[in-house]
Amino acid sequence: MKIQEQDYYYGPVLNQIAEYPVLTTINKVTEKRGLYLINRFTRLLIKYSTEGGNTWSFTFTADDLAHGAGYEFVVALNCGNYSVCMLREDQLAKILDTNCAKTQTIRVWFNAGESMRVAGPSGQLDRTIRHNEFPGNLLGIVTAPQEKYAWPELGQLTVYREPPNVVMRTFDRMMDLVDSVGYLCDDGETTLYIGVRSYSHKWDCWSNKNLKYIEDQIKYDFGFDGYKVKVERHDKPTTCQNSKLRKECSTEFVWSVTVGPC
C-alpha cells in the first residue's frame, strides 16, 4: 500500500499508544481518516498541522465532532511531530461550539520548556496541557498515589440530569466531578444521577464494598470543594439464594446525588 502524507503524522501518534506499557486495542473506524477506536469505548480523532514556528492550527468540521456520539471522544493534535496535544470532549466544548455547522479552528502554541496552550473560537482553555499527558491520560493510567482517588479500572462514568438524559460520559479514571459538572450545582440544590460500570476483573459484582467505594468517591469529589452532598442508591442490587450479588459491575449501577452549596 502506498504511504500517504497523513501516514507520517498519524503514525507517531499511534506508535506512542502501541508502545505504551499497557494492553491496548486499536481499530480503524469507518472510512474517515484519522478516526480510531481505542479499547472498545474511546473514539480517537487524530489531526495534524505542519505549520512552523511555535503555533499550530487545526480545523474541525461538524462531521469531525459527530463521530464521537455514544463514545468517549478524544482528539489528538499532532503539532508538526514535535508534540501531541490531547483534548477530551469536555475541553473541546469549552473552546468551540460542538453544535456548529461551520468549520472552526483550534490553535495550539508553546515555547521551549513550556506546556501547551489551546484556544478556539469560544475562548482559551483555562489550563495548559502537559506534553507527557499523552498517551497515559488516554489509556486511563494512574500513579500508585492516585489509585485511592481513582474511578474503577476499565470503567465508564456517566452523569445524567435524569436517566437517560446524559450530561457527560467519561472513561477518565481521574475525572473530577466538580470540574466537570459543578456548574450545574451553583444555582442551588441540584439532583444528578451518576452511573458507573467496570469491565475489569477486579470489579466482578456490585458488592457492598464496591458500592461504598463509589459512594465515598462521589462524596469526596464534591465535599473537597465545599459542597453538601447526599448520595443514595437509585438502583437496587439483587441477591441470589447464596446471598451473592447477581448484578455484575459490567452492568451500570446508578446513584441519586443531591448537591448544594454549604
98-111 tens-digit pLDDT: 889 999 999 999 99
pLDDT of residue 20 exceeding 70, the answer is yes
pLDDT of residue 80 exceeding 50, the answer is yes
pLDDT of residue 157 exceeding 80, the answer is yes
pLDDT digits (tens, 9 = 90+) for 86-101: 999 889 999 999 889 9
The C-alpha atoms of residue 77 and residue 79 are separated, in whole angstroms, by 6
Q: Left, alpha or beta for 201 (phi > 0: left; psi -120 to 50: alpha)?
A: alpha
The C-alpha atoms of residue 151 and residue 253 are separated, in whole angstroms, by 13
Give rounded-to-5 percent helix, strand, coil for the chain: 20, 35, 45
Q: What angle do CA 19, 46, 28 make, to 5 degrees?
A: 75
Share of the chain above pLDDT 70, in %: 95
pLDDT digits (tens, 9 = 90+) for 175-193: 889 888 888 888 899 999 9
pLDDT of residue 244 exceeding 70, the answer is no
The C-alpha atoms of residue 188 and residue 256 are separated, in whole angstroms, by 16
Residues 6 or more apart whose Cβ sits within 8 Å of residue 86: 74, 75, 76, 77, 129, 133, 134, 135, 137, 138
User: At 241, is the pLDDT very low, low, confident or very high (cuts 50, 70, 90)?
Assistant: very low
Per-residue confidence (pLDDT) for residue 40, from 0 to 100: 76
Q: What angle do CA 215, 217, 223 make, to 5 degrees?
A: 100
pLDDT digits (tens, 9 = 90+) for 120-140: 999 999 889 999 889 988 887
DSSP state for residue 129 in the 8-state scheme = B
Which set of grid coordinates corresponds to residue 246?
Answer: 447477581
Per-residue confidence (pLDDT) for residue 240, from 0 to 100: 44
